[in-house]
Structure 1
Amino acid sequence: MSEDIGAGAPGSGALDHVHIVLVETTHSGNIGAVARAMKNMGLANLTLVRPQSFPDEAAYARSSGATDVLDRARVVDSLDEALAESSLVLGTSARGRKVPWPVVNPRDAAGMVTGYREQGTVALVFGRESNGLSNDELQRCHYHIHIPSNPEYSSLNLAMAVQVICYELRMHHLMGETSDVARQLLQPLMRPGDEGWDRPPASVGELEGFYDHLEQALVDVDFHSRDNPRQLMTRLRRLFQRAHPDRMEVNILRGALTAIQKTAGTAEPARKQEQD
């Protein structure tokens, strides 16, 4: 049976081996915002290393309902304690190091993390709002994650950084799922014929009827001449075929053409529009 892939109850998701670790967070509201970002993407395990203030009202207010994540958050006195049970540690870093360290982008990091489920617990470590993780803290990480933000304005607040990483984790997991739920979450809905569209696509016959009706209406209002057609109908045909209208949309368009013909006082429309 497929894993639970929703952003539901803590401890029941496919990303339950992933722990978000925040080091010395200054503003408790950021802790709440992080909890919200985590729950949005189906993560539930939060560890706080020496937060300046937690728990408090600001954290719960900013969590926007992700109170279960905050309620079970673990508060520890040191990063070593936070990482003691982890088998893989990745720390976010916004700058280069004097001694090069293995660095991955968020998408590649997500592939590493989601594939690590059977091997042990993974810790994703985020530093202080003001200056991130120290060199000593980064050296406790197997890999560094660098978010390739705009170099001219690379500042991300804590919750934004967590949201980016958690989103990539969720997307990588969903892409590897074969369940109906995952398929529905990822499947695009762009045009008639796609699963979930409310009307079937217009048939070739229905479209041809519309084009005939359109041409007649344009003739009736002296916008188009069959004796000197130029490329008007060709271009209009291209326009509507590019739009992929559904059956209801074609009926609406034909209803509008009929109203135009009646207002113009022309003869009965060439073909009675279908009713959906």
Structure 2
Amino acid sequence: MHKPSPPLEGPDAFQDKIRIVLVETSHSGNIGAVARAMKNMGLANLWLVNPNSFPDEASYARAAGASDILDRAQVVPTLDKALEDCVMVMGTSARGRKIPWPVMPPPEAAAIAAENSQRGCVALVFGRENHGLSNDELHLCHYHIHIPSNPDYSSLNLSMAVQIMCYELRMLYLRSLEEAEGSPYLKSMESPADAGWDVPLAKVGDVEGFFTHLEQTLHDVDFHRRDNPRQLMSRLRRLFQRAKLDQMEINILRGILSAVQKAAGVSGNTKSTQAGKASTGQESGHV
């Protein structure tokens, strides 16, 4: 009926203490999409309150590899039943209310949910596709969650709303890993100086050899005048230094310069070019 699912990632507490509750879902495909959104972010605890149709082929087709979330989903007749063993309830709401209720955006809601999950299950409740949660259902919630979408087009697909909350919870989980034992998930990799780059950062001597080669090549093709340099080389130096070049990138650039010199008929006529080739092991025209 459905594809086998890859295993979940993350500790049981992260998977199971946050309970995603869908109330009277009309379209079973949305249930499958929610399961996929949950598994993307490492959550697994799905409860369905009186769904119109479940389980069925549409829900499993939309789950796309998250069929295990559907297999273990709890189906109950009422929202009270889904919440009775929870220590906190948070419901999504796009509406203002006559009586103000504690309301917060997703990042703050996720932080409170994660904190309270240490004491027991926390339910995140999502309403019907067409009109959300009723007033009585919202009264069961300790907090309301408001997703600040475009006011001119504020309606979110059910799985999109769930994905937003699951993402915020995922980020909290990854930050906790990073603080505890060093997780690479949230660390940027932007230059050869960062862990994970495939080629070492270029050494200062090799970079300087490139700048010497660049200046000579620009002179050879009559682009740069040494008797009237202005700020050309300073600006080019600033540009390339900002790029934090790795060793392979230096070699590629040196190869391009050698090819330009060859095309201009001046290849190999300067000491600086020859010295540059020796420092990088770069043959003319070859990378």
| TM-score, normalisation: structure 2 | 0.90
- In structure 2, the CA distance between the partners of 1:76 and 1:182, relative to structure 1 (3 Å rule), is farther
Q: Give the superposition deviation at 1:80.
A: 0.4
Instruction: Decide whether the 8 Å contact of 1:94 with 1:147 is kept in 2.
Output: yes
Question: 1:178 offset after TM fit, Å?
Answer: 3.6
Alignment of 1:81-230 (within 5 A): 81-178=81-178, 183-230=183-230
Shift of 1:265: 1.0
Distance 2:10 2:68 in 1: 7
Partner of 1:21 in structure 2? Answer: 21
**Cα distance change, pair 196–9 in 1 and its aligned pair in 2 (3 A):** closer
The residue aligned with 2:58 is 58
> After superposition, what is the alpha-carbon deviation per residue over 1:204-247, rounded to whole angstroms, capped at 9, x for unaligned?
21111100000000111111110111111111111101111111
- Structure 1 residue 28 displacement after superposition: 0.4
Q: Which amino acid aligns with 1:41?
A: M
Q: Matched residues in 1 for 2:96 and 2:182: separation?
A: 37
User: Secondary structure of 1:144's match?
Assistant: strand
SS at match of 1:188: coil
CA positional deviation for 1:193? 1.2
Distance 2:137 2:88 in 1: 14
Shift of 1:13: 5.1
How many equivalent pairs are there? 271
Residue 14 of structure 1: CA displacement?
2.3
Cα displacement (A) at 1:112: 0.7
**Matched letter for residue 271 of structure 1:** A
Native 8 Å contact 1:15 1:114 kept in 2: no
What is the aligned counterpart of 1:271 among 261, 271, 275? 275
Equivalent-residue separation in structure 2 for 1:249 and 1:148 (angstroms): 44
> What amino acid maps onto 1:134 in structure 2?
S
Instruction: Call closer, same or farther: CA 1:251–1:257 in 2, change over 3 Å.
Output: same
Aligned counterparts of 1:223 and 1:135: Cα–Cα separation in 2:
73
Q: Comparing 29-38 with 195-204, which one deviates more in the overlay?
A: 195-204
Unaligned runs of 5+ in 1: 1-5
RMSD: 1.8
2:209/2:276 contact within 8 Å kept: no
Q: TM-score normalized by structure 1?
A: 0.94
Of stretches 124-133 and 261-270 in structure 1, the one that deviates more from structure 2 is 261-270
Cross-structure match for 2:47: 47
Does the residue aligned with 1:115 lie in a helix, a strand or coil?
A: helix
Query: How far 1:116 sits from its partner (Å)?
Result: 1.8
Cα shift at 1:9: 6.0
Displacement of 1:270 after TM fit? 4.2
Equivalence for 1:240: 240
Tell me what 2:33 maps to: 33
Amino acid at match of 1:231: Q
Sequence identity, in percent? 61
Paired letter, 1:169: L
Partner secondary structure for residue 271 of structure 1: helix
Q: How many Å apart are 1:149 and its aligned residue?
A: 1.1
One-letter code aligned to 1:112: I
SS at structure 1 position matched to 2:235: helix
SS at the partner of 1:177?
helix
Question: One-letter code of the match for 1:94?
Answer: A
* Alpha-carbon spacing, 1:12–1:163, altered in 2? closer, same or farther (3 Å): same
> Residue 182 of structure 1: CA displacement?
5.9
- Distance between the aligned counterparts of 2:102 and 2:238, measured in 1? 52
Partner SS for 2:12: coil
**SS across alignment from 1:125:** strand
Instruction: Say whether the 8 Å CA contact 1:19–1:45 is kept in structure 2.
Output: yes
Report the equivalent of 1:67: 67
